[in-house]
């Protein structure tokens, strides 16, 4: 099979390498995401902020989590422009290395009891460096795989990137669940929390090796080939921030990302900590629920990718965001009620997580890649993703903690899920259908004059 039919052609083995590379890189990013988010929610308040009250320590731990998201938008701009200028492959090698090293180093940090305020400061520094790489990782992987995939199969093939997030989330959650089962609280706080971060080095080494043997995106080679007069070398021109902010496609993509990422930060990160710290649930309940939900996601993610290849990207987006809005209150009212059985709480978490988080993410990468033109696809995709992530995920859990503390209740979580989902819904309604769009087109989909 030829992925693209000219002198820049790639065969099936190249497509497989691109798919596995994107899957591994995204798995490492979300393994870090879940390792850190669960660590911040469940144990970091004792390790790095032991002198604070339970809720305040949770807010501070979420603050270090948010610091990485501030860095991500800088990384999106810097590495996104590099990816459009020098190629996807070189930048993806840099980002995976930065992320992997920082994730491992978190596992060897000293604690507050050992070095005082220096401990959380070093944690923030690593999160910032890690965030710089992560800011372009998933966008680069999504761009690379979309540009490799043939028409008619982009949704199902690009869902492998989303499956990477699922694998990372599942493995990280499983590791934490295993640590909670194996160790008592004192052992976990003393040394057990380090194991998940140090173990991530195995994934990093394999991902780096694979990317060293990966060919460049065929679309990038095609539109940047100076021998092709049809593009007049326009592909090398960087888009300015002013041009990007005037782009309808950019804001629609940012809105789609805002809806999905906001729900992710609330459901996967803040809710887990809130159930344990504020409502005194057993720590295994949220970790087990997210782990089981990730297993279910191995079915829902490829199904939605396949479905979007058949009926388009807009309809699944609209259905999922509407479902999240309708189900937010009934699902959360059951989840926060400790009088319900563990099985009932787990089922509700699985349902809302697969609809409001995993389902939307199954569509996100391919939809955003198809919305942007080839000239600056990497840059715009990375910045729109991270702009939405910075506000929704970086600050969302902190705001949720503040709001819940102010009213001494859980309903602000529901309100925020509804708001995030409404933003995603409006963006999905306004966006053009982009299924199977020509990825070598230099124009953005919503701004194209063709």
What's the average pLDDT block by block, 10 residues per block, for the chain (450 residues)?
A: 51 80 80 75 71 60 66 89 89 88 88 79 84 86 88 90 80 80 80 84 84 84 62 59 89 93 86 81 81 89 95 96 95 89 91 94 93 91 86 81 88 93 96 93 77
- When computed from its CA atoms, the radius of gyration of the chain, rounded to whole angstroms, is 21
* pLDDT number for residue 420: 94
Contact assessment for residue 339 and residue 326, using Cβ atoms and an 8 Å cutoff = no
Distance CA 140, CA 344 (A): 38
* pLDDT number for residue 340: 87
* pLDDT number for residue 423: 95
12-218+236-447 — its CATH code? 1.20.1250.20
Question: Going by C-beta distance under 8 Å and a sequence separation of 6 or more, which residues neighbour residue 427?
Answer: 251, 252, 253, 254, 255, 256, 258, 259
* pLDDT number for residue 55: 60
pTM: 0.81
Residue ranges per structural domain of the chain = 12-218+236-447
* pLDDT number for residue 228: 47
* pLDDT number for residue 233: 47
| Residue 339: its H or E element | none
């Amino acid at each position: 099979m030829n992925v693209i039919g000219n002198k820049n052609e790639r065969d099936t083995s190249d497509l497989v390498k691109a798919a596995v590379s994107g899957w591994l890189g995204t798995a490492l990013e979300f393994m870090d995401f879940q390792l850190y988010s669960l660590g911040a929610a469940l144990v970091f308040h004792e390790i790095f902020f032991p002198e604070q009250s339970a809720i305040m320590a949770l807010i501070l731990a979420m603050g270090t989590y948010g610091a990485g998201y501030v860095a991500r938008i800088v990384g999106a701009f810097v590495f996104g422009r590099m990816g459009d200028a020098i190629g996807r492959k070189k930048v993806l090698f840099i980002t995976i290395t930065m992320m992997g090293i920082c994730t491992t180093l978190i596992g060897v940090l000293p604690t507050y009891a050992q070095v005082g305020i220096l401990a959380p400061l070093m944690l923030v520094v690593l999160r910032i460096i890690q965030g710089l790489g992560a800011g372009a990782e998933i966008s680069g992987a999504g761009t690379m795989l979309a540009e490799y995939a043939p028409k008619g199969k982009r949704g199902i093939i690009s869902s492998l990137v989303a499956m990477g997030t699922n694998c990372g989330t599942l493995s990280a959650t499983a590791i934490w669940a295993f640590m909670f089962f194996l160790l008592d609280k004192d052992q976990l706080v003393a040394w057990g929390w380090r194991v998940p971060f140090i173990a991530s080095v195995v994934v990093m080494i394999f991902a780096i090796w694979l990317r060293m043997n990966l060919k460049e995106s065929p679309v990038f080679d095609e539109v940047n080939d100076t021998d092709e007069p049809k593009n007049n070398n326009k592909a090398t021109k960087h888009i300015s921030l002013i041009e990007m902010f005037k782009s309808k496609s950019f804001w629609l993509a940012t809105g789609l990302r805002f809806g999905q990422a906001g729900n992710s930060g609330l459901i996967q990160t803040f809710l887990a900590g809130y159930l344990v710290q504020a409502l005194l649930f057993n720590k295994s309940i949220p970790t087990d629920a997210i782990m089981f939900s990730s297993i279910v996601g191995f079915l829902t993610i490829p199904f939605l990718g396949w479905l979007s290849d058949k009926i388009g990207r807009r309809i699944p987006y609209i259905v999922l965001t509407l479902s999240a809005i309708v189900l937010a209150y009934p699902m959360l009212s059951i989840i926060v009620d400790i009088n319900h059985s563990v099985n009932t709480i787990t089922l509700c978490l699985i349902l809302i997580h697969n609809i409001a988080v995993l389902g939307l993410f199954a569509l996100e990468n391919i939809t955003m890649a198809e919305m942007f033109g080839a000239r600056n696809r990497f840059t715009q995709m990375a910045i729109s993703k991270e702009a939405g992530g910075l506000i929704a995920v970086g600050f969302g859990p902190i705001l949720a903690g503040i709001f819940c503390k102010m009213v001494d209740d859980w309903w602000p979580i529901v309100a925020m899920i509804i708001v995030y989902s409404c933003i995603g819904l409006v963006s999905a309604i306004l966006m053009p259908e982009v299924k199977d769009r020509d990825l070598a087109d230099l124009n953005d989909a919503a701004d194209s004059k063709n």
